[in-house]
Amino acid sequence: MKKTRQILCLLLALAMVFALCACAKTEEKPAADDKSSSTGTDSGKTETADNTKTEEDKSSSSGTSADITAQGNNDKDKEGVTTESGITVIQDTVILNMEEYENRPHEIQPGTNIKFVMFNDVPAQLPWNDSSEAFLYNLIYEGLLYAYLGKPDDIRGCIAETWEHSDDYLDWTFNIREGVKFIDGTVCDANAIAKCWDYFKELTPTNLSNVNIESYEAESDLVFKVHLSSPCAYFENAMCGNGLCAISPTACEKYGTDNNQAAVGTAPYYIESYTSGVELILKANPDYYLYEKMPCLETITYVNIKDTNTMVMALLNGDVDGAVLSDLESYYSLRDNNYAGDLIVKMSNVGPFMMNAKKYEPFQKFEVRKAFARYVNYNEVNDLVWDGMAIVNDSMWAKGTSGYWPSDDYYPDAAEGDELLASIGMSPSDISFSCTTMEGDNVMEAIQDQLNKHGISMEIEVIESAANFTYLMNGDWTVTYGSVGYTNSSPYTPWTFILPPNGIIKQCWQDVYDPELYDQMMDEFNLMKSSKTWDEMLDHCHALTGYVQDDHGCLLGMQRPGFLALSKEYKGGVFYALTSYPILYYFYV
C-alpha cells in the first residue's frame, strides 16, 4: 500500500506563520451562505452570553462506534451534518458523538490522564517561536475572543466578555472579563494584554500588521482599545487565534521571551513538565473560568513517537490512548490487527494542482491548461493513491468551506483534450517538461502516469523537501500540488501568497498571459483588504476562486483522507477537521 504524505508540508508550516491576509469579489456572485455577523447591531456593539462557570446539569453519556468515517466539510449548513455513523461535522470541527459532547461534565475528573502521540518534539512552546506547535497552543493559550466549535461566523467572548466597534470598523473596544488570571496568578486585565501585545509587536510584528493594527492601549484595567489603519473583515477571527494570544507579562519579564518557562497562559491547561524528545505533560487549570471550554481530563501526556511502526505498536498494546495517523498504511495496520479503539477517517486540507505559466511557456495557452483538466482523472488518482478515500472536489477549495466556489468545467475526457490542443496546432507530444517533488509524492507520480499515458512527457526529479521549498519560493517549479495554508477561517490566506506580484510563493500567472484579467483579479484582491465585513470579504474571495477556475489556472483540489485512533475509554472527542488536532479540553471519561 502506498504511503500518503502531504506534499507541501513546509509550505503549510510557512502559511501558518503568516496566517492572516487576503480575499476577492464580483457583483454577479452572491454572498456566502449561512454567515452571520457577530457585531450585528446598528451601533456596532457585540454582547456575548455569559458562559462562565455555572451549576448546569453535568450528566454524561457513553458509547462511540468503531471504524467511523466523516466526509469532511461537505455541507454548508452551519449547524453541521451528521453522518450515518454518528459523527457531526460543523465546518472546521469534527464531533465524534454530539450527545457525548453536549453532556460532558464541565469539571475536572481527578486522576484522569490521556496519553496522546505527538510526532514532533516541541522545543519552542511560545507562539512567536514555532508555528508547527500550534496543536499545543489552543490548550495553553487563548485570545480575547474564540470561534465556537471553530466556526468563523460564530465568534464569542473569551478573555473579553463583550466588544464593540465604530461605524467605520476602525476603532474596537474590548471589555475584559473580570477575574481572569494567568496560571502564575497574574491578573489578565487590559494592562496585561497591552504588555503581551508589545512582545508580539517586537518579535512577530506581522501578527499585528496583517490585521491592520495601528495602535492599541489599555484605557482602564478592564477596557482595551485597538485602532486599525483600515478595516479588516477578519479582525474578529484574528482575535481568536494564536497570532495574538495572551501570555503572562510577569513570566515574560521574569524568564525572557525565548525561555519556555514563560509559556504561561489563561487557557484550560498549563504546561507542568517537558522532557525533550520524550514527553510533554499538561495539567488542567483548576481556576479556569469559561464554561464552554471547561477542562475535564486532569492530565494530558503527549508522548513523542517519531516512528510510525512504533506508534502503531504502542496503540495496539494500549501504551498510548490516541494518535493522529500520518498515512494510510498505519490505518490499515491498526484495522487489520483488530485495534481495540475507534478508527476515524476524516478529510484533511485541500491541495490544488498549479501550473507555472512563467516557467513553462505552453501553460500560457488557455487550451493547454484546459486540456490538462481533461487528461488528469482525479478519480483514478484517488483510487490509486488513497483507495478511493479522498474527496475529489469541484473547486480549488473544499466543498462547505467558506471560500468554496464550484465549477462544472473540470472533468476527464482525453478526446476533448486532444481536440483542444489540435485547435491551436499542438498535440500531446509537443508538451514536455520536468518538475521537482519530494520523496514519496505519490499524488505527483499518479498525475505523471496519467499525463504520460496520454502522450505528455512529464519527468519527476526527487529532491529534499528543503530544496523543493526553495524552488517554490524562487518560482523555479513547473507544476506543484499541495496546500497553501487554506482553512475555513482564513480563506484569504492563500491569495496573499500566490496572487500578488511579490507573492511569497506566486502561483497565479495571469499577469504573464492575460494582464487585463490579472488587473481585475488584483482589483478584487485589493477590495478584499478594504472589506469591512466577513460576508463582503467572502464575496471577493469567491470571485477570485472563480477567476482562477474559469481561466483553468489550476486543476481542482483533492482532500486527502486523515486518520485518527482513539481509545474507547474517552468520550467527547472533538477534532479540528482540516488539521486533525484534537481539542482535548472537550474529552472526558
Q: What is the torsional sign of CA 533, 535, 541, 547? A: negative
Q: What is the mean pLDDT of the chain?
A: 84
Q: What is the torsional sign of CA 166, 169, 171, 174? A: positive
Average pLDDT on 539-543 reads: 96
Burial of 167 by CB count in 10 Å (0-12 exposed, 13-18 middle, 19+ buried)? exposed
- Looking at residue 38, what is its pLDDT? 37
- Looking at residue 43, what is its pLDDT? 34
Site of grid cell 499585528: 208
**Residue 417 contacts residue 557 (beta carbons within 8 Å):** no
- 347-561: which CATH architecture? Roll (3.10)
d(CA 238, CA 234): 6
- Looking at residue 326, what is its pLDDT? 79
- Looking at residue 90, what is its pLDDT? 75
DSSP annotation of 30: P
Q: Is the pLDDT of residue 120 over 90?
A: no
Q: What is the torsional sign of CA 416, 418, 421, 422? A: negative
Which residue stretches of 112-166 are H helix?
A: 134-140
**Residue 327 contacts residue 4 (beta carbons within 8 Å):** yes
Query: Please, how many CA atoms are within 13 Å of residue 503, restricted to the half-sphere of its CB?
Result: 23
Percent with pLDDT over 90 in the chain: 61
470 band by pLDDT with thresholds 50, 70 and 90: confident
Beta strands 432-438 and 457-463, pairing class: parallel
All three cell numbers of 66, joined, read 468503531
**Residue 402 contacts residue 488 (beta carbons within 8 Å):** yes
All three cell numbers of 363, joined, read 501553460
Looking at per-residue pLDDT, the higher value among 464 and 117 belongs to 117
- Looking at residue 113, what is its pLDDT? 98
What pLDDT, in 10s, does the model give residues 280-322? 999 999 999 999 999 999 999 999 999 999 999 999 999 999 9
DSSP annotation of 108: -
d(CA 268, CA 287): 9
- Looking at residue 489, what is its pLDDT? 80
- Looking at residue 59, what is its pLDDT? 30
- Looking at residue 16, what is its pLDDT? 34
How remote is the C-alpha of 459 from its chain's centroid? 31
Average pLDDT on 549-562 reads: 90
**Residue 257 contacts residue 126 (beta carbons within 8 Å):** yes
d(CA 193, CA 187): 10
Strand partners, 147: 155
457 band by pLDDT with thresholds 50, 70 and 90: very high
Q: Which of 383, 378, 432 is nearest to 555 (CA)?
A: 378
What pLDDT, in 10s, does the model give residues 394-428? 999 888 788 899 999 999 999 999 999 999 999 99
Average pLDDT on 338-348 reads: 88
Q: Is the pLDDT of residue 388 over 70?
A: yes
Of 220-234, 425-439, 565-579, which range is least confident? Answer: 565-579
Interacting residues of 190 by C-beta distance below 8 A, sequence separation 6+: 174, 176, 218, 219, 220, 221, 222, 223, 224
- Looking at residue 226, what is its pLDDT? 98
- Looking at residue 129, what is its pLDDT? 66
All three cell numbers of 480, joined, read 506543484
Query: Please, how many CA atoms are within 13 Å of residue 108, restricted to the half-sphere of its CB?
Result: 15
Query: Please, how many CA atoms are within 13 Å of residue 180, restricted to the half-sphere of its CB?
Result: 31
**Residue 114 contacts residue 582 (beta carbons within 8 Å):** no
Type of residue found at 586: Y
Q: Which of 548, 438, 545 is nearest to 482 (CA)?
A: 438
Given phi > 0 = left and psi -120 to 50 = alpha, else beta, which region is 411?
beta
- Looking at residue 81, what is its pLDDT? 64
CA distances 404 to 1, 18, 153, 546, Å, are: 32, 21, 15, 9
| CA-based R_g, the chain, Å | 24
Q: What is the CATH number of domain 67-79+127-270+284-292?
A: 3.40.190.10
- Looking at residue 12, what is its pLDDT? 35
Domains 67-79+127-270+284-292 and 347-561 share a fold: no
What pLDDT, in 10s, does the model give residues 148-198? 888 888 999 999 999 999 999 999 999 999 999 999 999 999 999 999 999
**Residue 86 contacts residue 571 (beta carbons within 8 Å):** no
Site of grid cell 477567476: 547
Other C-beta atoms within 10 Å of 396: how many? 27
- Looking at residue 44, what is its pLDDT? 38
- Looking at residue 552, what is its pLDDT? 96
Q: Which of 584, 58, 37, 47 is nearest to 291 (CA)?
A: 58
- Looking at residue 24, what is its pLDDT? 32
Other C-beta atoms within 10 Å of 185: how many? 10
**Residue 19 contacts residue 485 (beta carbons within 8 Å):** yes
- Looking at residue 131, what is its pLDDT? 62
Domain boundaries, the chain: 67-79+127-270+284-292, 347-561
What pLDDT, in 10s, does the model give residues 9-44? 333 333 333 333 333 333 333 333 333 333 433 333
